[in-house]
Chain A
Amino acid sequence: MATVGLTDVRKTFGRTEVIHGIDLEIADGEFIVIVGPSGCGKSTLLRMVAGLETVSAGEVRIGERRVNEVEPMDRDIAMVFQNYALYPHMSVFDNMAYGLRIAGRPKAEIAERVRAAARMLQLEEYLDRRPRQLSGGQRQRVAMGRAIVRKPAVFLFDEPLSNLDAKLRVQMRLEIKALQRELGVTALYVTHDQVEAMTLADRMVVMNEGRAEQVGAPLEVYARPATMFVAGFIGSPPMNFLAPADLNGAAAPALLAALPPGTAAIGIRPEHLELVPADRAVLSGSARYTEALGAETLIHLARPEGQTLTMRIAGSPEGIAPDAPLHLAAAPATIRAFDREGRAIVPT
């Protein structure tokens, strides 16, 4: 159990800088998810915390101790890899016991701790098997088990669920969260799946091209994205972006007047669009196709100006005719304004 601190951490490979200075303070027992598109530097950042990559500049601290020059084994961390990285020539028991044996723990204690972890992960029947005799989900559990038996101060996860099928992913997601709560260990979790990020994180770090665009609680990030990138990346379907000039409904002038000065783009979440009579509309469009998902319905609209919009409404409403003109509005408080650089303008 420990805090983790990053101060202006940078990474260069040869001459190219891939991490451009990240600052982050992680509280003891906090679950931090690093999320971002492929190639944005998530794994690199995590591997610097693990000690598997050198830190080019800045400082990494684990529990108040600067660890830039500390070997991975001396950082009191455990890591779960995307491909699990199990030792293929060892049984499940030996895989989990490996770290404890190296630490020179007594035999009885090792057996005790491995069995406890195996019980927690429902792996008891498989302790004698080799990794190749296990299913993907079971291998994932062994990797988890190997991490928890050592009782590290920090857990590091690099996309641990991305090799599992959708159903198993949801199940394991819940288990990881429960396990982390129970053990109270600080966790750093890398994923490119925003649903995983939203559900697991106490706070999430949204990364883009080597920068942390926003750090915050999931709902906070969702409701008040700091940049257009974050607004587009978090939330599915993504936020609708429009230029102020695109608002041309009957009620548009009043809304435009309320936008902060310097607004270059506005963003509206699909669920914040609602159908209204023409005289209260700020936008209009025609339904191109609808996706009824049971609990909710997604309506994809085409606007005369050419953009498409996505709207999400509860239930499965009847009577939305294809290509019929629809009039839309959104509550002013739900509309996000962005400046020319794509940064959110915070209403004062």
Chain B
Amino acid sequence: MEKRVTFRGWLLPVLLLAPQVAVTLVFFFWPAGQAVWQSLFIPDPFGLSAQFVGLGNFEFLLKDPYYRASFVTTAIFSSLVTLISMVPALWLAVLADRLIKGSGTYRSLLIWPYAVAPAVAGVLWLFMFNTRVGVIAWYLGLLGYDWNHVLNGTEAMGLVVVASSWGRISYNFLFFLAGLQAIPRSVIEAAAIDGARFWKRFWTIVFPLLSPTTFFLLVVNVVYAFFETFGVIHTITGGGPQQATTTLVYKVFADGFVGQDLGSSAAQSVILLVVVGILTVIQFRWIERRVHY
């Protein structure tokens, strides 16, 4: 049976679509167009005039070792954030799904971190790991480990990854739990009778049936790691040390608003747009094919 609604005239559908189209035009296409336009110019330091340089900004960027390093940083950062925000969430959801009594309390407790704003979460983690007053840094010191994310790039990366992932675990947990509870009990029971023990059932039945949820979360979390972690990076490391935590998005901000190199910043936005476009295509074309709906 066709579930589509059909309209007689064209006025109503156009009216219904208009808000969505308007929002997309004003907040996406217009700025995107501006970015593409600006990426072709180098403005003077006072913003009074701009010199047309064609693809010069892009050429310069692609030769810039810092910019190339930022690509690698972004790849590492996004993969780690996605992984660390999804795997524990799935694990917790599997545990909660098995729990019958008290699952309400358990669930509410696990949801709390999501209510913490990213920048605040960043500050919390920063306090805990502060090299002079941080609780965890102090304990690490007792254990003989000299924690200093201000100087050590790897430690800085670890800290922003954990701070960015932490709150997301709650969000992912909610979706995983809903996905798990949508799997019919009897299918799991049938597998148990067929001889599959817990982990076997998990890998052969539960995980495949959960794949639409996992795929959705993968897309959402990659987008999050790219764009919404700015606040965390800004509060904890400010992109340092030596740009060790400068992701592509952070670099757009740093070069454009701090460095006032608007042409380069615009060119970076355009490249970012292309990267995200490619990622999305890969995700939908390649991974979605393996998803069982």
Contacts and interface: CB of A to CB of B under 8 A. Distances in A.
Nearest to A74: B195
Interface residues of A, number: 23
A73 B189 contact: no
Contacts of B186: 81-83, 85
Contact of B208 (A73, A85, A89, A103): A89
A213 B190 CA distance: 30
Given A87-B205, A89-B208, A102-B200, A72 B187 contact: no
A150 B184 contact: no
Interface in B180-207: 184, 186-187, 189-197, 200, 204-205
Name which of B190, B196, B197, B209 has the most chain A CB atoms within 10 A of its CB: B190
Given A83-B184, A85-B189, A87-B187, A150 B194 contact: yes
B3 interface: no
A186 to B, nearest CB: 15
Contacts of B200: 102
Contacts of B194: 73, 98-99, 102, 146, 150
A72 B189 contact: yes
Given A87-B205, A88-B209, A88-B292, A79 B191 contact: no
Nearest to A52: B189
A73 B292 contact: no
A79 B190 contact: yes
A71 to B, nearest CB: 8
A258 B187 CA distance: 57
A81 B195 CA distance: 16
A53 B200 CA distance: 21
A73 B197 contact: yes
A78 interface: yes
A50 B193 contact: yes
Interface residues of B, number: 18
B195 A102 contact: yes
Nearest to B204: A98
Name which of B194, B196, B292 has the most chain A CB atoms within 10 A of its CB: B194
B238 to A, nearest CB: 46
B187 A85 contact: yes
Contacts of A197: none
Given A89-B208, A89-B209, A78 B193 contact: yes
B152 to A, nearest CB: 45
Contacts of A82: 186
Contacts of A78: 193
A77 interface: yes
Interface in A63-85: 71-73, 77-79, 81-83, 85
A52 B209 contact: no
Interface in B219-236: none
Interface in B262-293: 292
A81 B292 CA distance: 22
A85 B190 contact: yes
A99 B195 contact: yes
Contacts of A87: 187, 190-191, 205
Interface string A33-53: 000000000000000001110
Nearest to B292: A89
A25 B186 CA distance: 27
A73 B205 contact: no
B202 to A, nearest CB: 13
5 contacts: A51-B193, A85-B187, A87-B205, A99-B194, A102-B195
Interface of A: 50-52, 71-73, 77-79, 81-83, 85-89, 98-99, 102-103, 146, 150
